[in-house]
């Protein structure tokens, strides 16, 4: 096992071209911050547990906003805080993939 049991990366790339999809236009930074605070509040953060990070472009813009959980290699899209709640509770805390949000 690595330093973290699970690591979730949120794309928060901002594209300059107004006609191109990008995660930043879907509130990705706010959702990452929300996820980070939720992981901490649930006692899931830290060495041997879960890490929440921002990422540059993950190159799946048209499916965005996107996040990916490693080492599982599971890609998610999300709409609101309830989706983030479900990812944290099901996948990050309990290791169960949230199929309805999986890309």
**pLDDT tens digits for the chain (103 residues)?**
578 999 999 998 887 777 778 888 889 999 999 999 999 999 999 999 999 999 988 988 788 799 999 999 999 999 999 999 999 999 999 999 999 999 9
Query: Cα separation of 74 and 94, whole Å?
Result: 14
* pLDDT tens digits along 60-88: 878 879 999 999 999 999 999 999 999 99
Residue range 6-101, CATH number:
3.40.30.10
**40 vs 60: CA distance, rounded Å:** 27
Cα–chain center distance at 100: 15
Q: What is the pTM of this model?
A: 0.93
Q: Give the chain's mean pLDDT.
A: 93
Domain boundaries, the chain: 6-101
Residue 23's pLDDT is what? Answer: 86
Q: How many CA atoms lie within 13 A of 55 on its CB side?
A: 20
């Amino acid at each position: 096992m690595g330093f973290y049991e699970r690591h979730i990366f949120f794309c928060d790339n901002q594209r300059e071209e107004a006609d191109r999809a990008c995660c930043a236009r879907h509130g990705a930074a706010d959702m990452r911050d929300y996820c980070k605070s939720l992981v901490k509040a649930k006692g899931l953060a830290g060495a041997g547990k879960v890490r929440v990070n921002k990422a540059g472009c993950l190159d799946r813009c048209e499916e965005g906003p996107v996040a990916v959980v490693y080492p599982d290699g599971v890609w998610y899209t999300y709409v609101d805080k309830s989706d983030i709640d479900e990812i944290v509770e099901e996948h990050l805390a309990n290791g169960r993939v949230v199929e309805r949000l999986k890309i």
